[in-house]
Chains A and B, each alone.
Chain A
Amino acid sequence: GAVVSQHPSWVICKSGTSVKIECRSLDFQATTMFWYRQFPKQSLMLMATSNEGSKATYEQGVEKDKFLINHASLTLSTLTVTSAHPEDSSFYICSAPGRIGGANVLTFGAGSRLTVL
Chain B
Amino acid sequence: DAKTTQPPSMDCAEGRAANLPCNHSTISGNEYVYWYRQIHSQGPQYIIHGLKNNETNEMASLIITEDRKSSTLILPHATLRDTAVYYCIVRTPTGNQFYFGTGTSLTVIP
Chain A residues contacting B98 (CB-CB under 8 Å) are 34, 46, 95, 106
Asked if A113 contacts B49 (CB within 8 A), the reply is: no
Pairwise interchain contact A105-B43, C-beta atoms closer than 8 A: no
A-B contact pairs, 20 of them (CB 8 A): A32-B96, A34-B96, A34-B97, A43-B102, A44-B38, A44-B44, A44-B100, A45-B100, A46-B98, A46-B99, A91-B41, A97-B96, A103-B93, A104-B96, A105-B34, A106-B46, A106-B98, A108-B45, A111-B41, A113-B41
Question: Residues on B close to A: CB < 8 A?
Answer: 32, 34, 36, 38, 41-46, 49, 51, 87, 93-103
Docked CA distance A117–B95 (Å): 38
A/B pair count, beta carbons within 8 Å: 60
A95 touching B43, Cβ below 8 Å = yes
Question: Could you mark each residue 25-52 of chain A with 1 if its beta carbon is under 8 Å from any beta carbon of chain B, else 0?
Answer: 0000000101010000001111001000
Interface size bracket, A side: 20 to 34
